[in-house]
């Protein structure tokens, strides 16, 4: 039952409705609301909309009507600090730096950063990608995909916080460089010849120790570098105090050339806690992406991510005959199963050589295990 009536100079309406509540009981409600209009027709339309919403269960009789408009969605530019504050609280410092760097590359594109996030569509994201690809530098597939992952995280978090109704679909670009590529020795020679002095030192340590670039190598401190011979290694070792997993805490023996690199850098007597100091607030190198890309281009080798040096190190250890348990320990893996992927890239000659060593092992040991006079029937 409903009615529209005049009270003073404005119209009101009254609706009587009976509904079944969550506890199973039926209750009767009387809704008495002002239409805030002097026109009966407008009051009737508002009353009709309210009655329909009540009938469909879209609103409770005691709830205000019309419902309050949802808050205006923030722009990506305004959402940045709130997003980074959340990341700094729930992720590693390096992850926050990664997201902030990517957002700083994204925000100058005003059509994306200065409109409500609820209005951003997949088509607009594609326009942004085309804009970035038109720039003369900094538009590699790896860089763009890093920005796509950052945008995806931003919009999904905005949806989770009910700031936007739905996050747009954001895809990474095809053709990204595989992080598990193994660099050949000839490629390494060309790359090191084209690299800057600092990049060359970082690369040698990366490929000879398998340190994780961002969290272990760039942040390496002198207090964890031991160049004197010890039980850990005849040429010294690097101590990794912790990191990605509990297994990340480990000691890694040094190769002769890795020791030479560290000894030369220590002889420079640069005042810094870090082996690779940097100009930023962190005090150490944060990224070598641009110098890496220049070295790749100058050397003429096929493009690859710098992280591939770590995978190359693990593969070389496996090719040299190191068992997967030792590889897992030196790489800082939580399980030998993770280290098994390095054996995928072991070349055929190394597999043959390994099997020949196995045959020799059997020949030396089985000859004494067969009793004299035993005849083997095939």
- Residue where one domain finishes, among candidates 310, 329, 360: 310
pLDDT of residue 375: 40
In this prediction, residues 84-94 reach a mean pLDDT of 88
- Give burial (CB, 10 Å; 0-12/13-18/19+) of 44: middle
Determine, yes or no, domain membership for 127: yes
pLDDT at 37: 93
Strand order in the sheet with 26-34: 2-7, 10-20, 26-34
Picking from 310, 345, 362, the residue at the C-terminal end of a domain is: 310
Whether the predicted pLDDT of 363 surpasses 90? no
pLDDT band at residue 91, thresholds of 50, 70 and 90?
Answer: confident
Which residues lie below 8 Å from residue 376, measured CB to CB, with a gap of 6+?
A: none
User: Domain check: are 192 and 303 in the same one?
Assistant: yes
Query: Is the pLDDT higher at 340 or at 373?
Result: 340
Flag whether 317 is in a domain.
no
Instruction: Give the pLDDT band of residue 270 (cuts 50, 70, 90).
Output: confident
* Together in a domain, 225 and 306: yes
Q: Can you give the pLDDT at residue 282?
A: 86
Last residue of a domain, one of 252, 275, 310: 310
pLDDT at 369: 41
- Within-domain flag for 213: yes
pLDDT, greater one: 99 or 246: 99
| Span 323-335, pLDDT tens digits | 888 888 888 887 7
User: According to the model, what pLDDT value does residue 180 have?
Assistant: 74
Residues 136, 246: one domain? Answer: no
Q: Is residue 376 part of a domain?
A: no
Task: Identify the band that residue 374 occupies on the pLDDT scale cut at 50, 70 and 90.
Answer: very low
Ramachandran angles phi, psi of 233, nearest 5°: 180, 145
Taking residues 159-171, report their average pLDDT: 92
172 occurs within a structural domain: no
Return the pLDDT at 1: 52
Q: What percent of the chain has pLDDT over 90?
A: 60
Kindly state whether residues 194 and 305 are assigned to the same domain.
yes
Asked, for residue 349, whether it belongs to a domain, the answer is no
For residues 196 and 297, state if they share a domain.
Answer: yes
Examine the pLDDT at 377 and tell me if it is beyond 50: no
Instruction: Give the pLDDT confidence of 208-220 residue by residue, as tens digits.
Output: 999 999 889 999 9
Residue 263 contacts residue 250 (beta carbons within 8 Å): no
Find the mean pLDDT for residues 247-252. 86
Same domain, 190 and 80: no
Residue 191 shares a structural domain with residue 306 = yes
Mean pLDDT computed over every residue of the chain: 86
Q: What percent of the chain has pLDDT over 70?
A: 86
Question: Do 131 and 212 belong together in one domain?
Answer: no
Q: Give the domain CATH number at 102.
A: 1.10.150
Q: Greater confidence, 160 or 364?
A: 160
Are 300 and 216 within one domain?
A: yes
Parent domain of 12: 2-55
**Per-residue confidence (pLDDT) for residue 343, from 0 to 100:** 57
Q: Given a cut of 60, is residue 134 above it in pLDDT?
A: yes
pTM of the model: 0.53
Same domain, 87 and 30: no
Whether 296 and 193 share a structural domain: yes
Is the bond into 66 cis (omega within 30 degrees of 0)? yes
Closest CA to 309 of 174, 193, 197, 185: 185
Residue-wise pLDDT tens digits, 171-219: 988 866 566 788 999 999 999 999 999 999 999 999 999 999 988 999 9
Contact 31, 17 (CB under 8 A): yes
Residue 105 contacts by C-beta under 8 Å, 6 or more apart in sequence?
A: 132, 138, 143, 147
- The Cα–Cα gap between 125 and 318 comes to 43
pLDDT at 341: 64
Structural domain contains residue 216: yes
**259 shares its domain with 156:** no
65 assigned to some structural domain: no
Domain tally, the chain: 3
User: What would the mean pLDDT of 253-281 be, rounded to a whole number?
Assistant: 92
Q: Give the residue-averaged pLDDT of 284-290.
A: 91
Give the domain CATH number at 284: 1.10.443.10
């Amino acid at each position: 039952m409903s009615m529209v009536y005049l009270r003073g100079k404005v119209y009101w309406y009254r609706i009587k409705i009976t509904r079944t509540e969550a506890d199973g009981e039926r209750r009767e409600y009387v809704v008495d609301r002002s239409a805030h209009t002097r026109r009966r027709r407008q009051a009737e339309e508002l009353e009709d909309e309210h009655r329909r919403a009540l009938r469909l269960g879209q609103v409770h009789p005691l709830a205000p009507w019309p419902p309050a408009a949802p808050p205006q969605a923030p722009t990506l530019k305004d959402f940045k600090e709130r997003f980074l504050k959340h990341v700094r609280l729930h992720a590693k410092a390096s992850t926050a730096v990664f997201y902030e760097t990517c957002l700083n590359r994204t925000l100058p594109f005003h059509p994306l950063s200065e409109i409500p996030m609820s209005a951003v569509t997949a088509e607009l994201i594609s326009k942004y990608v085309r804009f970035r690809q038109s720039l003369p530098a900094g538009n590699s597939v790896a860089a763009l995909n890093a920005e796509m992952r950052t945008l995806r995280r931003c919009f999904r978090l905005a949806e989770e916080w009910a700031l936007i109704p739905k996050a747009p679909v954001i895809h990474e670009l095809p053709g990204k460089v595989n992080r598990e590529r193994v660099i050949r020795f000839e490629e390494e020679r060309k790359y090191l010849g084209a690299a800057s002095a600092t990049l060359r030192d970082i690369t040698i340590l990366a490929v000879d120790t398998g340190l994780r670039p961002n969290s272990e190598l760039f942040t390496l401190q002198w207090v964890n570098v031991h160049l004197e011979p010890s039980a850990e290694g005849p040429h010294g070792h690097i101590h990794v105090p912790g990191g990605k997993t509990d297994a990340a805490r480990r000691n890694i023996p040094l190769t002769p050339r890795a020791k030479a690199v560290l000894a030369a850098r220590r002889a420079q007597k640069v005042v810094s806690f870090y082996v690779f100091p940097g100009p930023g607030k962190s005090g150490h190198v944060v990224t070598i992406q641009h110098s890496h890309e220049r070295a790749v281009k100058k050397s003429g080798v096929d493009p690859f991510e710098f992280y591939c040096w770590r995978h190359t190190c693990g593969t070389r250890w496996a090719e040299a005959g190191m068992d997967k348990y030792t590889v897992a320990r030196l790489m800082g893996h939580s399980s030998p199963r993770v280290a098994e992927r390095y054996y995928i890239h072991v070349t055929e000659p190394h597999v043959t050589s390994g099997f020949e060593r196995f045959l020799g092992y059997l020949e030396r040991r089985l000859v004494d295990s067969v009793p004299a006079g035993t005849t083997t029937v095939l």
